[in-house]
Amino acid sequence: MTKTTHKIYISSMVSIIVIATIYLAYTGYSYYNTVLEERFYHPKHDWFKPSGAYGHGLGIIGTLMILFGVSIYIARKRYNFLGKFIRLKYLLEFHIFLCTLGPIMVLFHTAFKFGGIVSVAFWSMVAVVLSGVIGRFIYIQIPRTIEGRELSLQEVKSMKTDLSNVLSEKFRLDLPTVQFLIRFTKNNEKDQNKVSLSELKKALKHSNLTKTERGSILKLLKNERTLSRRIGRLQTMQKLFKYWHVAHLPFALVMLIIVIIHVAVTLAFGYKWIF
Ligand code: HEM
Ligand code: HEM
């Protein structure tokens, strides 16, 4: 997918979600806006109610979208299904698309009436969607290969230059000076041994280096410090993302189990949709 196709891919998904939501809200507005006790007398009650042709259909199609959006992502991620054809990254975007549109359709299926045990499924669904949004934020903070695979800490660390070698060989600095300069790049804010920027500049001024050399050393050290901080943040994000899975997945399971019960109950009551 080129950058332009990717932009089209994302914007079409966003447009579909926005247009569908506006359509669903607009067509059913007068029904959803009627108080529960009076809905029975609404001319389109049999159409919009959760067991009506339209309301029931929204529940079924929305649930199928969620199921498909989850299974295709897991199939690709864990079993490399369609691995040659589609990148994990694009499939995650598709997961987010289906698992946003599906819940919106389910919301209109309920006709904003959250009763019984099935309301637990509804609120679990809301929790999964909200946790999904948070997960997406964490996800994009973690550096990945172009494929979408998480880069390991080792891989990111290998991007760092061997700074002490450069300082001692290229700039002919002695070992204690190199060690002093390196201390500036350490990412730990609370480190007692940390060297501040002014201390660093002072030390460089007292050395025998030219102005241009001092400038390039400063640049090198600042880059290194940024990378160290990024690695520190990456470790935090990887940990956070592990904890995040502990929220997203169980809510999805709770939802699945209650929806199965909910569907079984409606079938037992004889609701067959259009079949
Ligand atoms: C995430 C999925 C779903 C959620 C959260 C959900 C939620 C709800 C809620 C909150 C209601 C209203 C309950 C009330 O009257 O107070 C309802 C009703 C209903 N749902 Fe679902 N639903 C889902 C999926 C489905 C599916 C897949 C089907 C059918 C295969 C279905 C069939 C029905 C029917 C027939 C009713 C009307 C029941 C009645 O009037 O007694 N739902 N659903
Ligand atoms: C009802 C809606 C949703 C359900 C049932 C659902 C379910 C799941 C499941 C079962 C996984 C796989 C977890 C794993 O591999 O351990 C997953 C992954 C994920 N989902 Fe969702 N999801 C939903 C909506 C969303 C939404 C709305 C977003 C984002 C806005 C989202 C973002 C993610 C992310 C970032 C991952 C993790 C990707 C990874 O670790 O590779 N999900 N979801």
Domain membership flag for residue 274: no
Name the residue range of residue 195's domain.
154-233
Dihedrals φ, ψ of 150, to 5°?
A: -65, 135
With a 6 Å cutoff on the Cβ, whether 267 touches ligand 2 is: no
Same domain, 93 and 136: yes
- Residue 17 has what pLDDT? 98
Domain membership flag for residue 88: yes
* 36 Cα: distance to centroid of ligand 1 (angstroms): 16
End-to-end CA distance of the chain: give it in Å, rounded: 40
Identity at 100, one-letter amino acid code: T
Number of domains in the chain: 2
Same domain, 30 and 138: yes
Domain membership flag for residue 47: yes
Same domain, 140 and 164: no
What residues in the chain have per-residue pLDDT under 50? Answer: none
Same domain, 39 and 167: no
CB 28 within 8 A of CB 109: no
Same domain, 140 and 189: no
Same domain, 21 and 122: yes
Instruction: Give residue-wise pLDDT tens across range 147-198.
Output: 667 777 677 777 666 788 888 888 888 888 888 888 888 766 666 777 888 8
- Distance between CA 42 and CA 181 in Å, rounded? 77
Please tell me what DSSP assigns to residue 195: P
Identity at 15, one-letter amino acid code: S
- Distance between CA 113 and CA 272 in Å, rounded? 20
| Ligand 1 atom with the shortest distance to the CA of 122 | 5
* 30 Cα: distance to centroid of ligand 2 (angstroms): 34
Ligand nearest to the CA of 247: 2
- The burial of 193, by beta-carbon neighbours within 10 Å (0-12 exposed, 13-18 middle, 19 or more buried), is given as exposed
With a 6 Å cutoff on the Cβ, whether 60 touches ligand 1 is: yes
Domain membership flag for residue 225: yes
CA 65 to chain centre: 19
Same domain, 131 and 162: no
